[in-house]
Amino acid sequence: MKKLLQLFIAGIILSAILLYAIQAMNESQGYSGENTLTIYNWGNYIDMDLIKQFEKETGVNVIYETFDSNEAMLTKIQQGGTTYDIAVPSEYMIDKMREEDLLIPLDHRKLPNLNNIDDRFMDLPFDPGNKYSIPYFWGTVGIAFNPELLPNKTFTSWNDLWDPALKNEILLVDGAREVIGMGLNSLGYSLNDTNKQHLQEASQKLETLTPNIKAIVGDENKLLMQNNEAAIAVLWSGDAADIMWENEAIDYVVPKEGSNLWFDNMVIPKTVKNIEAAHQFINFMLDPEIAAQNTEYVAYSTPNKAALSYMDEEMVNDERFYPPPELTEKLEVYKNLGPKMLSYYNDLFLEFKMHPK
């Protein structure tokens, strides 16, 4: 008993010392000081050199944390106890966060660089007047395919996926809106359609695609495509860019019927501690040269019009990632359809997944 007690006390003393050491270390790095900025972003979604540059220019200490899904980010901000000054949710999540009063309105006077953003990407339905959010990167949903594995096949339309020759070749992304949206688009409907008859039609059409589907996966699609395990994947353009970086044979196309246009956006969540630095950071990232450097690192499409002139020409002229106006017109941003409709989409998707091969 005595020995146990001694061990217990030793444990407590050791923990206290460690706690003190952490405190001391944080202080020496200025973390507990006033001037810190906590950024909550997707993994590998910023050029870390830029953070160093920002720290140097402003004297603000940056703490950088990452998340891997909008839902995980939402939960952490909802629960409180975090001090995130900047977060980067996707557009459909902004709607939700706004409804739940989790966002702080932006002060546009503190963001002079805002006029660098392309007008096309301002004032979008998920955030009228950009009251709460500034687009960070944007992209599409499309078809990535490997011509080396599929000689003589070209893809221009969603309906090309229904080709019987593509048996067991296609990877779909595990998202209800993306897959049902693809069904709707292939029939010429809007991917925000709420007409149940259209949705039924789309899901029936999707069921006829089952023989061609290899799997419905998440982030693993990148790995599978890179290693030539699968020939075709329906995915986000950002993921396509990553794959093409690793495996040069792969090509990406946005189908002509139209597709989804998505945005990741910088916001200030209500967990903010340093509003001033948060605005400073957003403005910093909107600077054309900074945005250009960041875009060349991340390789997603930037909404920053002024940045394009600082970027590698080959990248800017790549129509797969900066589609021409005829196509951009057909791209749609997801509207918040409300929980009931979303749940209907998900039920259809679940049924589709369970459809026997």
Partner 1 sequence: MGNKLTRNLYMIPYSLWIVLFVIAPIMLVLYYSFFDIEGNFSLINYQKFFTPVYLKMTLSSFWYAFLITLISLLFAYPTAYLLTKTKHKQLWLLLIIVPSWVNLLLKAYAFIGIFGQYGMANSLLEMIGIGSRQILFTDFSFIFVAVYIFIPFMILPIFNALNELNPSLLDAANDLGASKWTAFRRVIFPLTIDGVKSGCQIVFIPALSLFMLTRLIAGNRVITLGTAIEQHFLVTQDWGMGATIAVFLIIAMFFIMFLTRDRKRGV
Q: How far is the CB of 164 from partner 1 (least distance, A)?
A: 17
Residues 6 or more apart in contact with residue 233 via CB below 8 angstroms: 143, 144, 145, 170, 171, 172, 173, 221, 224, 225, 243
Interface with partner 1 (CB under 8 A): 69, 71, 168, 171, 174, 176, 214-218, 220, 223-224, 227-229, 339-340, 342-343, 346-347, 350-351, 353-354, 357
Q: How far is the CB of 217 from partner 1 (least distance, A)?
A: 6
Q: How far is the CB of 226 from partner 1 (least distance, A)?
A: 11
Q: How far is the CB of 14 from partner 1 (least distance, A)?
A: 23
**Among residues 233 and 331, whose Cβ is nearest to partner 1?**
233
Phi, psi angle pair for 205, to nearest 5°: -65, -40
Residues 6 or more apart in contact with residue 194 via CB below 8 angstroms: 337, 341
Q: How far is the CB of 304 from partner 1 (least distance, A)?
A: 31
* DSSP state, residue 155: -
Cα separation, 318 vs 201, in Å, equals 35
**Among residues 315 and 342, whose Cβ is nearest to partner 1?**
342
Cβ atoms of 114 and 123 within 8 Å: the answer is no
The burial class, CB within 10 Å (0-12 / 13-18 / 19+), for 51 is middle
**Among residues 2 and 340, whose Cβ is nearest to partner 1?**
340
Report residue 53 as tokens.
Answer: 């540059």
**Among residues 115 and 210, whose Cβ is nearest to partner 1?**
210
**Among residues 34 and 71, whose Cβ is nearest to partner 1?**
71
